[in-house]
């Protein structure tokens, strides 16, 4: 039996998308591949309404957490942390030898613009690393004001939008670097990650030494300008899927896609409040994933096991939030009807699982 994924990545991939990937492989230096990448490149700019640089790497999100820091930060970066993935990003900055400073919030809270602005005004930071959607806590930090605050202080805004880009409404023009892998709201298999980069960030990258090799934005840019190709061998089958999915996304439109996500988020969050409590600070609930506080102390794995027997999968809490919370994703190509079915099943199970 197929288990439908309501976990915050990898998300459910539709059958037609899976089928597309079974096409024969083409050479990565062929004319077909060049056309394919150029079309993906242009459609990404079109869907996200931007002229910013766009690149597709064969990697998961973590690759671009590292790559973004390597490209645009020479030394001083402010890592805003409010959950597990933003903590990881801070560790990644340190692991890459950066002088990273952590501004930590309690898990469940969003990052606050006033605090960031005050830090930026010291003039110490080249950039801020911000996690738009903390997948561990279900918290969304609106980014628009952060971009201005960064630019007012000669710094860049670097955003992890791993679990929100293509689901939530995000203006990629309001970030200097913003990235997401394919296995979350794009509703594709894992294996690719997309990044948008501002002109300011590209200029900065030119001056940063030790950008590394695989994720070097300048090398990627130059190769694209010269050949419309990617320096290393890309995951060709996944490019078929991304190309196909972008057509579907453009038919739906960003606004409608956001509305569908918001409708699903409202359903899950109402259910969460009726039955438990939401973990996120009120007003900052994610549009793509809801973290529910297990304030009734139910056996989360028992509930998940029951759900799996019914062909549906949700997630336990992440890291230290395991069993204290559980997570329901409402991202990608899922529909409100599917969420309704999930919640009805959870109601039935809850009456049995203590």
From the list 251, 248, 342, the residue with the least C-alpha distance to 290 is 342
In the sheet that holds 127-131, the strands lie side by side as 53-57, 193-197, 177-181, 156-160, 127-131, 76-81, 99-104
Shortest distance in whole angstroms from residue 344 CB to ligand PMP: 27
Minimum distance, C-beta of residue 61 to ligand PMP, in the bound complex (Å) = 3
Q: Crossing angle, helix 217-227 and helix 31-47, to 10 degrees?
A: 120
**Under the rule (CB under 6 A), what is the footprint of ligand PMP?**
9, 60-62, 65, 85, 131, 135, 160, 162-163, 181
CA gap 227, 221 in Å, rounded: 10
Output the smallest distance, CB 206 to ligand PMP, in A.
26
Q: How far is the CB of 30 from ligand PMP (least distance, A)?
A: 28
DSSP secondary-structure letter at 168?
A: B
| Beta carbon nearer to ligand PMP, 88 or 257 | 88
CB of 180 to ligand PMP, least distance (A): 9
- Smallest gap from Cβ 352 to ligand PMP, in A, equals 30
Beta carbon nearer to ligand PMP, 83 or 353: 83
* Nearer CB in complex with ligand PMP: 135/269: 135
118, 119, 123, 127 alpha-carbon torsion, rounded to 10°: -130
Helix ranges, the chain (H): 15-20, 31-47, 61-72, 84-95, 113-120, 144-152, 199-207, 217-227, 236-252, 254-275, 300-309, 336-350
What tokens appear for 115 in the block?
């605090």
| Euclidean distance between CA atoms 44 and 35, whole angstroms | 14
For ligand PMP, give the closer residue by CB, 33 or 193: 193
Q: Between 68 and 163, name the residue whose CB sits nearer to ligand PMP.
A: 163
177 beta partners: 158, 197
Angle between helices 236-252 and 31-47 (to 10 degrees): 30
Question: Closer to ligand PMP at the Cβ: 52 or 163?
Answer: 163
The 3-state secondary structure of 327-341 reads: EEECCCCCCHHHHHH
φ, ψ at 103 (rounded to 5°): -110, 105
CB 192 to ligand PMP: min, Å = 10
Nearer to ligand PMP, 184 or 204 (CB): 184
Structure token digits, residue 352? 């049995």
**CA nearest neighbour of 278 among 301, 260, 294:** 294
Smaller CB distance to ligand PMP: residue 11 or 349?
11
Of all residues in the shown chain, the one whose CB is closest to ligand PMP is 61
- Closest approach, Cβ 189 to ligand PMP, in A, equals 11
């Amino acid at each position: 039996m197929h288990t439908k994924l309501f976990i915050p990545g990898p998300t459910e991939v539709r059958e037609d998308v899976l089928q597309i990937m079974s096409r024969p492989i083409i050479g990565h230096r062929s004319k077909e591949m060049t056309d394919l990448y150029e079309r993906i490149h242009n459609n990404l700019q079109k869907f996200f309404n931007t002229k910013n640089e766009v690149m597709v790497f064969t990697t998961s999100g973590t690759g671009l957490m590292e790559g973004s820091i390597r490209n645009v930060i020479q030394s001083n970066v402010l890592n805003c942390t409010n959950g597990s993935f933003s903590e990881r990003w801070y560790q990644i900055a340190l692991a890459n030898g950066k002088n990273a400073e952590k501004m930590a919030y309690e898990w469940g809270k969003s990052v606050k613009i006033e605090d960031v602005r005050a830090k930026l005004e010291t003039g110490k930071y080249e950039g801020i690393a911000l996690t738009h959607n903390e997948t561990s806590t279900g918290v969304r930090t609106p980014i628009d004001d952060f971009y201005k605050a960064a630019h007012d202080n000669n710094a860049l805004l670097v955003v992890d939008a791993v679990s929100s880009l293509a689901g939530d409404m995000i203006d990629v023009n309001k970030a200097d670097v913003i990235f997401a892998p394919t296995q979350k709201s794009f509703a594709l298999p894992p294996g690719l990650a997309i990044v948008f980069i501002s002109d300011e960030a590209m200029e900065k990258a030119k001056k940063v030494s030790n950008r590394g090799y695989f994720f070097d934005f300048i090398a990627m840019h130059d190769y694209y300008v010269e050949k419309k190709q990617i320096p290393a061998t890309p995951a060709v089958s996944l490019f078929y899927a991304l190309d196909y999915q972008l057509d579907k996304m453009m038919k739906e439109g960003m606004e409608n896609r956001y509305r569908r996500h918001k409708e699903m988020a409202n359903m899950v969050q109402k259910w969460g409040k009726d039955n438990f409590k939401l973990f996120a600070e009120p007003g900052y609930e994610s549009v793509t994933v809801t973290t529910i506080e297990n304030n009734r102390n139910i056996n989360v794995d028992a509930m998940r096991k029951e759900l799996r027997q019914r062909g549906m999968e949700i997630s336990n809490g992440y890291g230290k939030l395991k069993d204290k919370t559980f997570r329901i994703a409402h991202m990608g190509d899922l529909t409100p009807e599917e969420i309704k079915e999930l919640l009805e099943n959870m109601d039935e199970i809850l009456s049995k699982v203590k």
